[in-house]
Structure 1
Amino acid sequence: MDNGFTMRRRVLAALAATALAMARAHAAPPDRPPLRIGLSLGLTGVYAADSEMMGKAYRLWEQEVNTRGGILGRRVEVLIRDDRSDIDTARAIYEDYTQRGQSDLVMGPFSSAITAAVAPIIDRHGYPMLAPGGAAETMWQKGYRNLFGVIPPAGRHAIGFLALIADAGIDALAIVHADDPFSTVLAEETRKWLPEYGIRLTSFEKVAKGHPDLDAAAQAARRSGARALLMAGHFDESVNMRRALRRIGWTPAAYYASVGPGLDKYGSVLGAAAEGSFATTTWEPHEKLQLPDADDFRRAFLRRWGELPNFLAAHAYSACQVLERALILAGGFDRDKLRDTLYRLDMNVLIGRYAVDRTGLQTKRFPLVVQWQRGRREIVWPPELATAPARLGR
């Protein structure tokens, strides 16, 4: 009995020692500096709500990766500075990160406009940058070597919506777009696709970003004979146009707005008026999609922040997954090796597949089309992933 008891104690002691050794092996040594990853977000200004959600995703990943022992033995420190939704402020921040060496690596800001503004800076200083907050294709037509797309390019966002209305015999579309880069690219590229679907463009109008009164634009679209309306903009434009349609008493057969209807707060703000609105989204945590880590991400985000994540949070978290994997494959923190790895990398992350072409443009991820039905979003395109059929008027 004594010998058996002694043996069990020795086995338990050996197991404990092994577990301790493994924990120490994965933990960042105390004398190694943290891996600083710098980025800016519009925590104040017009992008504040969207940026806040992305910032929470970065903090969640930072916590999780450090719990795992960091990356290659280095603890991760995510540096998030407020660019006030301002291009010049963001430029100054990324100069600090790169030219002045205040960060080891960088991640992209929110919005295509600000991403485009800092892209020349990170490229000039050789800092590879994943761009989870920018989708305007024009950024990847500048010859940059360090800019990597995470989300589908803006010009392809409305293709699923065009397919839906074409199949329903809706052949006259009006387009209104805000004057920022993302919205402009989405509108211009959608216009190019119309002949492929047999859809006639009845009007094409630009409005100032953030302008609260879109009644005149809505009236012009109605007078043009359009049966469907596409509003290319951000959250405010999607809501303001929906309200304008109600004020003028026009219910088009289909209303599509970029960004806005893909967010829970669209329904919270508009209530019953959200019904029927279409949007493109890059992430819906629906079991039919079989996206990796979706349930774990939702639970962890809710536990940490007391609210559910949206697709913008999923963008940021996915970029972190790509960066972590690329660093491990590169075997270190050399930025040249990281750049080469990001070009070659092909992997599945939270929002789906990551893979880029020779310009760094995301090429392997398609967006979903959702519609508000009975107070919730349903996936309505592509058909094989639909959770409900699209509802279209006449």
Structure 2
Amino acid sequence: MRAGERGDQRHDPMLGHRRQDAQAQPPPARFVRSVKPGCAFAEQRAPRAHRKLPESLTTTWARLLLCNTRSAITKASRHLRPRHFSTALQGGWHSMRKTKITAWAVLAAFAGFLALGPGLASAQSKEPIKVGMIQPLSGPIAAAGSYITNGAKIALDRVNAKGGVLGRPLELIIEDNKSDPAETRNAAEKLIVRDKVPVIIGAWGSSMTLAMMPLAAQHGVPLVVETSSSGKITDPKTPGQKVVSRISPTSELEAVGAGALIPKLGMKKIGYLAVNTDWGRGAVVAFGEAFKKNGASIEAVEYVGQADTDFYAQLTKFKAAGVDSVVITDDAPKAAKMLQQMKELGLNVKVLVTGGSAWPDSIVQLAGAPAAEGAMFINFYNPYDFAMAGDPEASKAYVDEWKKRGLPWIGIVEGMRGFDAVNVVAKAIESAKEPTAAKIHAALKTLEARGLYGLNKFDQNGQSYCNIIVTQVKDGKYSVVAITPSAKLWEMSAAK
């Protein structure tokens, strides 16, 4: 007895059931002719090993697809019931229903083959271009990290809606540095070694960015720095500086933009309250020099931890020192707490908040209008005046989309950092013509792109020069005190 037979029954592999076949007759000729002539299946069912693929289907993907097509037809036919057919001894097949079902199976299988076949040849070229991003998504400054990430996603969706870059979509691979330098380095290592990203955006805080720079330089992966302000980052003596392209301003640039206002504001004796990081310490030095040049002096400096919430002791010292102004370098939630506690202590002095993260709308919401009234801020983007941005059209699109997605309004001036960073990376990849780290790094050196920061381009140390906008809470609302345009800062830099 042969395999597939038992007594007077023979197993038909195309039907998936046993049928009466007293004389073990071959399938009738009508079965053979039911498949289009010239098709690979228009033959008696020979052993699988003896059936040849069409000569035109010589590539590996074609062979795999054809085998899957055969499998699909066989599986589809096995769902048919014996009652759908009359046996060969009863005069042939119940052809109408069988033909319809088989035809649909063949058409469906080959439609998939024709659709996927040509696509497979170019599938590799359509794979997303990976872009790494590291932000503090947990820890004491998680809010800032989430705003920047959302801004980056808006830019990403906008780029991809226009066809992506080099005909391929961009994909953000986002890592949480947990507001910690060591975690930032770990995140960078994962993105570089495991995810093979050719470029990284990050990492909010200066200490965090400095921690990952040597590793990025070791692997030749360029860094687009969207927020960090420490002058060390673009100092040629700093390990890893050679791979940095920073779109955010240094504390020195902030001081240049705001310095001219100091005499007009009557700031003479200053108390400085700063976060105890590379950002805060660097800002104290940079603004200290600017104050000195403009006839003011820092009378007292107090540093605070990233997670601190009680500032009464430091503010009490300022009050005892008789300062007429307080300068703050910290994130928006902590700056709001400081203003509330100054109000409680009766420390009624001029206030300037640096760094760009705090702005009138956020501080009014977080601290309350009475505590925020009169406070001034150094910002880099005005969401109420699109014309102030380097690219007014992009500014409007960004604000409209931020509102459409229902994102917190107070985070919009932080989110623009991520928006500009993704657009800079996209333009660099487009210019590079190839998404490799070396080509992207080279493209960044000569890139010029107008964005929300202003004119994004980089000097010999990888530093860009953005708009510096001094804003103020006036009658509980946003107002602009002064602006130093990006173009003017570029002129000042060239003059040096």
TM over 0.5: yes
Q: Are positions 1:248 and 2:345 aligned together?
A: yes
Aligned partner letter, 1:341: A
CA pair 306-228 structure 1, distance change in 2 beyond 3 A: closer
Q: Distance in 2 between matches of 1:249 and 1:260?
A: 25
Aligned-residue offset at 1:181: 1.2
- Partner deviation per Cα, 1:224-269 (whole Å, 9 max, x = no partner): 22111111222233122212211211101x1112345316332111
Contact 2:206 2:228 in 1 (8 A): yes
CA pair 261-350 structure 1, distance change in 2 beyond 3 A: closer
Aligned-residue offset at 1:158: 3.6
- Partner deviation per Cα, 1:266-295 (whole Å, 9 max, x = no partner): 211111211111111111121452541211
- Say which SS state the counterpart of residue 300 (structure 1) adopts: helix
CA pair 78-383 structure 1, distance change in 2 beyond 3 A: closer
The match for 1:379 among 445, 469, 480 is: 480
- Say which SS state the counterpart of residue 31 (structure 1) adopts: helix
Percentage identity across paired residues of the two chains: 19
Contact 1:61 1:317 in 2 (8 A): yes
* Aligned pairs for 1:150-165 within 5 A: 150-165=247-262
Show the counterpart of 1:234. 331
Show the counterpart of 2:435. 333
Q: Are positions 1:279 and 2:372 aligned together?
A: no
Contact 2:133 2:174 in 1 (8 A): yes
Aligned partner letter, 2:353: A
- Say which SS state the counterpart of residue 466 (structure 2) adopts: coil
Q: Pick the structure with greater CA Rg.
A: 2
Show the counterpart of 2:365. 268
Aligned partner letter, 2:134: S
The match for 1:31 among 124, 147, 161 is: 124
Show the counterpart of 1:369. 470
Q: Distance in 2 between matches of 1:357 and 1:375?
A: 39
Show the counterpart of 1:89. 183
- Partner deviation per Cα, 1:61-98 (whole Å, 9 max, x = no partner): 22222221211011211111222222222211110111
Q: Distance in 2 between matches of 1:260 and 1:184?
A: 17
Q: Are positions 1:49 and 2:143 aligned together?
A: yes
The match for 1:60 among 148, 154, 161 is: 154
Q: Distance in 2 between matches of 1:271 and 1:240?
A: 10
TM-score (norm 1): 0.84
Show the counterpart of 2:224. 130
Contact 2:220 2:243 in 1 (8 A): yes
The match for 2:417 among 297, 303, 315 is: 315
Q: Distance in 1 between matches of 2:423 and 2:312?
A: 43
- Partner deviation per Cα, 1:33-71 (whole Å, 9 max, x = no partner): 211111222111112111111111122222222221211
Show the counterpart of 1:25. none
Aligned partner letter, 1:222: K
CA pair 196-129 structure 1, distance change in 2 beyond 3 A: same
* Aligned pairs for 1:86-235 within 5 A: 86-141=180-235, 142=238, 144-235=241-332
Contact 2:191 2:197 in 1 (8 A): yes
Aligned-residue offset at 1:220: 1.4
The match for 2:450 among 339, 343, 348 is: 348
Q: Are positions 1:289 and 2:391 aligned together?
A: no
Q: Are positions 1:300 and 2:401 aligned together?
A: yes
Contact 1:131 1:148 in 2 (8 A): yes
Show the counterpart of 1:16. none
TM-score (norm 2): 0.68
Q: Distance in 1 between matches of 2:398 and 2:194?
A: 35
CA pair 356-260 structure 1, distance change in 2 beyond 3 A: closer
Contact 1:60 1:304 in 2 (8 A): no
Aligned partner letter, 1:107: I
Relative contact order, higher structure (CA 8 A, sep 6+): 1
CA RMSD of aligned residues (A): 2.2
Q: Distance in 2 between matches of 1:170 and 1:58?
A: 37
Could you list the runs of 5+ residues in structure 2 that have no partner in the other structure?
Answer: 1-120, 487-496
CA pair 261-70 structure 1, distance change in 2 beyond 3 A: closer
- Say which SS state the counterpart of residue 243 (structure 1) adopts: helix
